[in-house]
């Protein structure tokens, strides 16, 4: 059924929004303000005025602001929002939420196509597994951001289709989507490596015949390197973007030392639901990666494994705002493929019951993170 991925995705997201509306009313806040909170406020400001037009009231995590502070946010999502907001009668918030919804639907079709492109299982199993993957992705514990003025939905859509391009050897699709993803989120570094390695293997395997893998190899890093170069030129520092992250959000790569300390502290004191669940999600992601390694290492799906490993390494190895790690796991959607295939083997009633329970649970957790949890996500 052509509409199945979109319907599954939108139904699961709608469940989350209904739970959010209920909790918002109980806590006396407006749903629209929640959907545009935290980073969403930055993206809307960037869509309205660009890097030089953001109001001085916007500051980093320490309350500081310099002319370069807005450069910490990648331009792809706010630029697209600005383009849509330029249409008659469309507000910036409506444009941002519209871009998010459309990007999520595009991602849903990419996820379904990705599973169908896998080199194992029957076509029927892969088709069912693709729809289950869409539902699991939409019901991710921090899936609420897939309905917010955030850039995750757009990035995941581009990443999913880039990986489809790799598995189907559609190298221009892979390279162009990877390049675009590099303008949306820094997580694109993992995608650049996965697409680049796959293209290089294809080039070596064909002894250099054909120009499309070469095009993917050149295109893949263009967006990410282009934006990092732009920030370097604006700040006068080769590592300008990384300096902004370190000084403004205390974010960098420490090999996982901060994550380990956070995990130990949370397990010892259990300070909040969000932090305990975050630790559980990080552990679950590691387990899913091990399962994926056993299934994909010697198959043609190895680029998915490279991508997932690097995304997880970036999440576990970075310090900064620990409360955001559940959200940062969203781009590691390929780790949900093994459980999606496993659930697709079950009876339809069992699969629907499990997915419905996950959708409600995810909806509650996302609503809790926006209505009760007082800090950024």
pLDDT by position in tens, the chain (length 377) = 799 999 999 999 999 999 999 999 999 999 999 999 999 999 999 999 999 999 999 999 888 999 999 999 999 999 999 999 999 999 999 999 999 999 999 999 999 999 999 988 888 999 999 999 999 999 999 999 999 999 999 999 999 999 999 999 999 999 999 999 999 999 999 999 999 999 999 999 865 568 999 999 999 999 999 999 999 999 999 999 999 999 989 888 999 999 999 999 999 999 999 999 999 999 999 999 999 988 787 788 999 999 999 999 999 999 888 889 999 999 999 999 999 999 999 999 999 999 999 999 999 999 999 999 999 89
Q: How far apart are CA 205 and CA 208, in angstroms?
A: 8
Beta partners for residue 253, in sequence order:
318
Q: Are the C-beta atoms of 110 and 161 separated by less than 8 Å?
A: yes
User: Which pLDDT does position 296 carry in this prediction?
Assistant: 80
Q: Which two tokens stand for residue 13?
A: 């997201």
To the nearest 10°, report the CA torsion of 304, 307, 311, 312.
Answer: 50
Rounded to whole angstroms, the Cα distance separating 30 from 320 reads 29
Contact predicate 313/189, CB 8 Å: no
Say if CB 15 and CB 359 are below 8 A apart: yes
What pLDDT does residue 290 have?
A: 94
- 3 by Cβ neighbours in 10 Å (0-12 / 13-18 / 19+) ranks as exposed
């Amino acid at each position: 059924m052509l509409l199945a991925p979109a319907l599954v995705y939108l139904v699961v997201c709608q469940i989350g929004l209904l739970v959010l509306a209920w909790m918002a009313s109980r806590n006396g806040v407006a749903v629209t303000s929640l959907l545009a909170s935290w980073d969403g406020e930055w993206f809307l400001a960037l869509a309205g005025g660009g890097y030089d037009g953001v109001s001085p009231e916007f500051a980093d995590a320490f309350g500081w602001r310099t002319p370069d502070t807005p450069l910490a946010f990648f331009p792809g999502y706010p630029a697209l929002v600005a383009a849509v907001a330029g249409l008659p009668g469309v507000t910036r918030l409506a444009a941002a939420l519209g871009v998010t919804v459309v990007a999520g639907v595009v991602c849903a079709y990419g996820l379904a196509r990705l599973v169908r492109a896998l080199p194992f299982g029957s076509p029927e199993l892969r088709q069912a597994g693709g729809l289950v993957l869409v539902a699991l992705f939409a019901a991710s514990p921090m899936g609420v951001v897939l309905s917010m003025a955030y850039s995750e939905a757009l990035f995941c859509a581009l990443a999913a289709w880039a990986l489809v391009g790799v598995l189907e050897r559609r190298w221009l699709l892979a390279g162009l989507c990877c390049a675009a993803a590099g303008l949306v989120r820094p997580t694109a570094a993992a995608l650049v490596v996965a697409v680049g390695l796959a293209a290089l293997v294809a080039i070596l395997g064909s002894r250099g015949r054909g120009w499309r893998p070469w095009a993917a190899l050149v295109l893949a890093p263009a967006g990410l390197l282009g934006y990092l170069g732009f920030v370097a030129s604006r700040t006068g520092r080769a590592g300008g973007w990384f300096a902004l992250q370190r000084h403004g959000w205390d974010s960098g790569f420490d090999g996982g030392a901060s994550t380990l300390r956070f995990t130990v502290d949370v397990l010892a004191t259990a300070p909040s639901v969000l932090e305990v669940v975050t630790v559980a999600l990080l552990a679950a992601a590691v387990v899913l990666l091990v399962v994926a390694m056993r299934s994909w290492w010697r198959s043609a799906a190895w680029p998915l494994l490279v991508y997932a490993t690097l995304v997880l390494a970036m999440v576990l190895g970075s310090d900064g705002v620990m409360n955001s790690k559940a959200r940062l796991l969203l781009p590691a959607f390929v780790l949900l493929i093994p459980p999606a295939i496993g659930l697709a083997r079950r009876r339809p009633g069992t699969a629907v019951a499990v997915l419905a329970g996950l959708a409600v649970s995810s909806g509650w957790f996302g609503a809790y993170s926006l209505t009760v949890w007082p800090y950024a996500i």
